[in-house]
């Protein structure tokens, strides 16, 4: 094995493996180092996303919803079921098989594109050298013209609820329950907390979500956030805002959580399991030598410029380990951008058009700025909304909760943001993301022909509603 490469990538999650593949496609001799090991101790690619994040959580979300649908929602279609049951170990096994298939697929992609895959740890030294240590402890020094750091992130622990991997778990442990907890506590009403809470609530858990923030989904458009809160609460999630956890005590197979409620009163709740989902932090442990030349910011993220170059020449960083939202697709596109810039291209990334999705049911999705952000920026704007309750396709599918909201500049009509809670929101919002990437106006979107009957028509109607021209709902303010 040669010790000199054009590109060394540390980390084979969505940011790292995509960067490695794109670099190899561009003719660069590339090696990718990944430290992740599966339960058998074998090195696997994919990072958090494929192993214990995006993919396994979506597998459980889909399995749990199918169970819930069969048990609770098919009767409206005239379908009668009885004795519907859930085999949790089988559900977990299916999730594991999906993970195995996808992580193995990365290895095949590496081989097809000529990427050298190494398992172990990588530490950046000075002069674009990397100390590689395999899983047996053998160390060697690799050199490259460029190094891409893609080490990802890890769950944040909190002292008041220390994870023991038995009763108190983080997002990883919550994917491995072998039975449905009778009572489940979740600390944190963010993306991960809501998704995991939804999984086990559908399967029968009495779920209580404790959130320290005063506003639900504070970073989302607040009209959509409030609608989402109502929908999720109606589904049975007991979401308690302004609740600060002050301690926890495990006794036997149960945990008692103490917290201060919104009125400042001390409260207690006892659960069979407790999931800690208070966010993630950039993972840089053992990644950098003291003389690497790479700097961290005050929050522990690797400092980079607008094209993900670090303070050390020839060293780049992408994904969760740098500023911006911790989203797999954001990291992947950064990986492509960096690989292409290393190859001499002038690729840039439009951070203003990065979609964000919460995979509850219905889904919650957004792209661009919220109404609150536009208002804070002092820009004039118009809004168009359309409820799924007025969508024929949504009615046919019995999926009428939620709405589409489009925000456009009042003078230029350029679309500034789109926010959706409703069926297939993740896919619908991408339509608007494409429009925004091309600088489309609300009028442009309104003039396009959408297939009928489709959920996409809700996007069309919301765009028309921006100017008071919606057809299938009464307009709040009609315009000529």
Residues annotated as catalytic are: 452
Q: Which residues contact 265 (CB under 8 A, 6 or more apart)?
A: none
Rg (CA), the chain: 24
Strand partners for 147:
8, 315
Alpha-carbon torsion 456, 193, 335, 31, what sign?
Answer: negative
> What region, left, alpha or beta, does residue 178 occupy, with left being phi > 0 and alpha being psi -120 to 50 degrees?
alpha
Distance between first and last Cα of the chain:
70
Structure-token match 């402890």, residue found: 137
**How big, in percent rounded to 5, are the helix, strand and coil portions of the chain?**
35, 25, 40
Report the distance separating Cα 90 and Cα 201, nearest Å.
18
Strand runs (DSSP E) across 315-402, as ranges?
315-317, 356-358, 363-368, 381-387
Q: Give the CA count within 13 Å in the CB-facing half-sphere of 474.
A: 1
Contact 362, 387 (CB under 8 A): no
CB atoms within 10 A of CB 65: 17
User: Is residue 207 helix, strand or coil?
Assistant: strand
- The answer to whether 364 and 357 have CB atoms below 8 angstroms apart is yes
Specify which residues 384 forms β-bridges with.
406
Other Cβ atoms within 10 Å of 438 Cβ, number: 9
Phi, psi at 466, each rounded to 5°? -55, -35
Rounded to 10 deg, the angle between the 54-68 and 88-113 helix axes is: 140
Smallest CA-to-CA distance from 341 within 382, 304, 379, 395 is with 304
């Amino acid at each position: 094995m040669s010790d000199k490469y054009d590109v060394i990538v540390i980390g084979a999650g969505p940011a790292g493996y995509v960067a490695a593949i794109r670099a190899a496609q561009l003719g660069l001799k590339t090696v990718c180092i990944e430290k992740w090991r599966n339960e058998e101790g074998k090195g696997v690619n994919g990072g958090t996303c494929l192993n214990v994040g995006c993919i396994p959580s979506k597998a459980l979300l889909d399995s749990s919803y199918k169970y819930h649908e069969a048990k609770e929602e098919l009767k409206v279609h005239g379908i009668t079921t009885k004795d519907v049951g859930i085999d949790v170990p089988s559900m977990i096994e299916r999730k594991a098989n999906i993970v195995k298939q996808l992580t193995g697929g990365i290895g095949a992609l590496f081989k097809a594109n000529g990427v050298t895959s190494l398992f172990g740890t990588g530490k950046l030294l000075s002069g674009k050298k990397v100390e590689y240590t395999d899983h047996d402890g053998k160390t060697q020094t690799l050199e490259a013209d460029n190094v891409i750091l893609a080490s990802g992130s890890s769950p944040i622990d909190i002292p008041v609820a220390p994870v023991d991997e038995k009763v108190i778990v983080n997002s990883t442990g919550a994917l491995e329950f072998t039975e449905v907890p009778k009572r489940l506590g979740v600390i944190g009403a963010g993306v991960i907390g809501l998704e995991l809470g939804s999984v086990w609530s559908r399967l029968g858990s009495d779920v209580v979500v404790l959130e320290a923030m005063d506003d639900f989904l504070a970073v989302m458009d607040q009209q959509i956030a409030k609608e989402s809160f109502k929908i999720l609460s109606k589904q049975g999630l007991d979401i308690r805002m302004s609740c600060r956890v002050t301690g926890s005590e495990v006794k036997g197979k149960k945990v008692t959580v103490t917290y201060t409620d919104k009125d400042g009163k001390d409260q207690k709740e006892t659960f069979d399991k407790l999931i800690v989902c208070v966010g993630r932090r950039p993972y840089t442990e053992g990644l950098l030598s003291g003389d690497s030349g790479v700097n961290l910011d005050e929050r522990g993220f690797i400092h980079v410029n607008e094209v993900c170059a670090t303070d050390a020449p020839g060293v780049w960083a992408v994904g969760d380990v740098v500023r911006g939202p911790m989203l797999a697709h954001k990291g992947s596109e950064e990986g492509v951008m960096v690989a292409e810039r290393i190859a001499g291209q002038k690729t840039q990334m439009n951070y203003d058009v990065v979609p964000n999705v919460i995979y509850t049911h219905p889904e919650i999705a957004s792209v661009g700025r919220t109404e609150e952000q536009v208002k804070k920026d002092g820009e004039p704007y118009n809004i168009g909304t359309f409820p799924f309750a007025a969508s024929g396709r949504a009615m046919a599918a019995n999926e009428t909760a939620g709405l589409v909201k489009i925000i456009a500049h009042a003078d230029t009509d350029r679309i500034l943001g789109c926010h959706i809670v409703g069926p297939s929101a993740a896919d619908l919002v991408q339509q608007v993301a494409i429009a925004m990437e091309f600088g489309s106006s609300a009028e442009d979107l309104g003039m396009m022909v959408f297939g009928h009957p489709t959920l996409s028509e809700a996007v069309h109607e919301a765009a028309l509603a921006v100017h008071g021209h919606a057809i299938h709902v009464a307009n709040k303010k009609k315009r000529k």
